[in-house]
Amino acid sequence: MRYSGSFSLRNLGKSPVMQLFSDKLLFTPGPLSTSKTVKAAMLRDLGSRDTEFISRISYIREKLLETAGVSKEGGYEAVIIQGSGTFGIESVISSVIPRDGHLLVLINGAYGERISGIAAVHGIPQTRLVYAENEITGTAPLRAQLEKNAAITHVAVIHCETTTGIINPIEEIGKLCAAYGKTFIVDAMSSFGAYPVDMPEARIDFLISSSNKCIEGVPGFSFVIARRDSLELAEGRARTLSLDLYAQWKGLETDGQFRFTPPVQVLLAFARALHELEAEGGVKGRAARYARNNEVLLKGMQELGFRVYLDPEHRGYIITSFYYPDHPDFNFRDFYGALSQRGFVIYPGKLGKTDCFRIGNIGHITETDIRELLRAVRDLVSGYAITGKTNE
């Protein structure tokens, strides 16, 4: 097990790489466990207008397009936004929808609700299409809305809704949006880098993700991959100064620099993380590791009697929701705390009406780490029997 809980100042000042803590393993949807080399990439100072840093930003933008399977020559752009993933979402929502526009939000979890909340704050007219939290955002209700409401100009959906781990059918949704001439926005926060996404095939205009998800960087910025023609339409539409997506893009295109102070060390770490993604075999290679992590986790948890919230056909391999055991001795706070003491961090649930907790399969973790977690869970529940059917 990696975590010792120890802290030492003994070598402070003696080494350029100071390991003050032994890291816990993070089985969460982000921030995630990262490699030592990604962390080490942050241990330097570099000016934000330095030519080396500007070159690194150019590399990151190029690699983001490559990871998405698109290119500048093919009409796509990568824009980096300071702040967490929600900053990137708000940048798109507040920048690309005109004053006379209308947003349709497909909602089957907390993050779809967040997009709706952003639109409400900015006074953007919206239609909320709400599904059950264990139901994919199917196209039949969407088609009905598009048929009856000609005012709709933009449609937004979450790819991997990390409330539950459900995977929504973005290709089907995107093709339907294109057929009706609607701009398509995809929150790919927890999927980009680990789920192959064909942006042209899915007719995605704006795809948003962040540094601390499946690319395995650290928190500090988000990014938008956009069709250039859709991005150009955003000129003059922004409702904020700092989150103006078009202005951010034009600044990066003009001199390679940010309009406001960038998170330099975080970007250096991300450049290293992109290199490690490529070394693992790109999106395909990373997907294979995460899928295997998920396979081992599901088998082990179900053998212990835990039930999975989502049916197999709807769930992905990013994060999995498990029902609380139906046993009077189970208390999630105690369960979480005991696992944390052993060096394993899981996530509470975000479901509105169902008691669940979540375990992520992403980040710099392996099948061996999953098995260590399962041993810890088995130790904690060995004092009572957990029984219940599985979803398989």
Same domain? For 312 and 207 the reply is no
Same domain? For 247 and 295 the reply is no
Domain final position from 223, 254, 278: 278
Is residue 390 domain-resident? Answer: no
Pairing of strands 126-130, 103-107: parallel
Q: Residue 225 belongs to a domain with what CATH number?
A: 3.40.640.10
Kindly give the interhelix angle for 245-255 and 51-67, rounded to the nearest 10 degrees. 120
Domain final position from 247, 278, 309: 278
Q: Residue 361 belongs to a domain with what CATH number?
A: 3.90.1150.10
Same domain? For 341 and 194 the reply is no
Q: Is the peptide bond before 31 cis (omega within 30 degrees of 0)?
A: yes
Q: Which of 256, 226, 309 minimizes the C-alpha distance to 50?
A: 256
Query: In this predicted structure, what is the pLDDT of residue 386?
Result: 60
pLDDT values of the chain reduced to their tens digit, one per residue, 392 residues: 443 333 333 333 444 444 445 789 999 988 999 999 999 999 999 999 999 999 999 999 999 999 999 999 999 999 999 999 999 999 999 999 999 999 999 999 999 999 999 999 999 999 999 999 999 999 999 999 999 999 999 999 999 999 999 999 999 999 999 999 999 999 999 999 999 999 999 999 999 999 999 999 999 999 999 999 999 999 999 999 999 999 999 999 999 999 999 999 999 999 999 999 999 999 999 999 999 999 999 999 999 999 999 999 999 999 999 999 988 888 999 999 999 999 999 999 877 778 999 999 999 999 999 999 999 999 998 866 565 444 44
Number of structural domains the chain divides into:
2
Domain final position from 278, 313, 337: 278
Query: In this predicted structure, what is the pLDDT of residue 349?
Result: 82
Q: How far is CA 328 from CA 14, 22, 300, 339, 375, in A?
A: 52, 34, 22, 19, 22
What is the pTM for the complete model shown? 0.92
Same domain? For 99 and 242 the reply is yes
Q: Which domain holds residue 360?
A: 25-30+282-381
Instruction: Mark 76-96 as b/e (b = at least 16 C-beta within 10 Å).
Output: bbbbbbbbbbbbbbbbbbbbb
Query: In this predicted structure, what is the pLDDT of residue 17?
Result: 46
Give the N- to C-terminal CA distance of the chain in Å, as an integer. Answer: 31
Query: In this predicted structure, what is the pLDDT of residue 30?
Result: 86
Residue 128: φ, ψ to 5°? -105, 120
Same domain? For 168 and 296 the reply is no
Query: In this predicted structure, what is the pLDDT of residue 268?
Result: 98
Taking a C-beta distance cutoff of 8 angstroms, is the pair 85, 210 a contact? yes
Is residue 131 domain-resident? Answer: yes
Write down the H helix ranges in the chain. 36-40, 51-67, 85-96, 110-121, 139-148, 170-179, 199-202, 228-232, 245-255, 264-279, 282-303, 332-341, 367-381
Is residue 19 domain-resident? Answer: no
